[in-house]
Amino acid sequence: MWDGSEVDEEASHGGETVLRLTGLVKRYGGFTAVGGVDLEVFPGEIFGFLGPNGAGKTTTIRMVAGVLQPSEGSIRVGPHDMVSEPSAAKSQVGYIPDRPFLYEKLSGGEFLRFVAGLWGREGAQVEERIDRFLELFHLTEWRDELIGSYSHGMRQKLLISSALIHDPALVVIDEPMVGLDPRAARLLKDLLRTYVHEGGTVFLSTHTLEVAEALCDRIAIIHTGRIIAMGSMEELRAEADAGGAHLEEIFLKVTGGDEMAEVVASLRETLERGGAGSADRS
């Protein structure tokens, strides 16, 4: 069982599909947020879902996590269908949303124990995992403090721990670096690499180009609810006829060129502001 105790930069690929989206559609009245997404994610893979705000990333992520029901299409996690077998499918998924919503009247240790119990995990093995995650994220001294006293960064670290506590086959992450200081962001990258090395799989949504390029084995670019490019960095370069370009240049080319320059500039500005400082206890 993986406990985050070692770091390895290599991910293995192959095997049966861990996540399969087929014709996935989500409508809100007359508005189509996701307009027919097809993709497969394989064991030992970090798969990036990249696009500007409003492209349909978070809606897709929430459907994969079982929070939203699709209007059409199917979601399969391993052999389980998210609509017809929701309990079995969700038990294979660890979900890290972009904004942490936690029970503020529980302590950090109580919350992790509560989440593990929801998945039928308890006993000494769970306590060991709780200790390990709290230590990794420098939260040990806050174990018995109420979550209501935690900073945003601390809550995000606790949420990451809770998503991994039941040892899921697939971790689904929406904007993984939100609220994390540089050390914690690096630790999360290492944890995800270790997790896939030990047989896990990651599906993450981001609008941060640097995160996708640094972390992901394959990337899908979504624009106005549809996937417009998908593959490894080498395949995306070939598809965009972009030579040795960085992901930023590929993203601009496949999403419409100059009209997306303002979006990319805004993303870079946001990233730079985020790196300028951190919360006192993050």
List, for residues 178-208, the tens digit of each pLDDT value. Answer: 667 777 778 778 888 888 888 899 999 987 7
17, with CB counted inside 10 A (0-12, 13-18, 19+), is middle
> What is the C-alpha to C-alpha distance for residues 84 and 75, in angstroms, rounded to an integer?
10
Q: Which of 45-49, 94-98, 175-179, 190-194 has the highest mean pLDDT?
A: 45-49
Average pLDDT over residues 210-218: 85
* Confidence (pLDDT) at 140: 95
Residues 6+ apart with CB under 8 A from 140: 131, 134
Q: Which phi and psi angles does 167 have, rounded to 5°?
A: 55, 55
Q: Which of 84-88, 105-109, 111-115, 243-247 has the lowest mean pLDDT?
A: 243-247
| Residue 146, strand partner residues | 107
Q: What is the CATH number of domain 19-275?
A: 3.40.50.300
* Confidence (pLDDT) at 4: 42
What is the maximum span of the chain, computed from C-alpha positions, in angstroms? 56
Give the Cα-Cα-Cα angle 90, 92, 98 (nearest 5 degrees): 65
Whether pLDDT at 72 is above 50: yes
Q: Which of 47-61, 88-102, 212-226, 238-252 has the lowest mean pLDDT?
A: 238-252
Query: Domain boundaries in the chain?
Result: 19-275
The confidence band for 260, taking pLDDT boundaries of 50, 70 and 90, is low
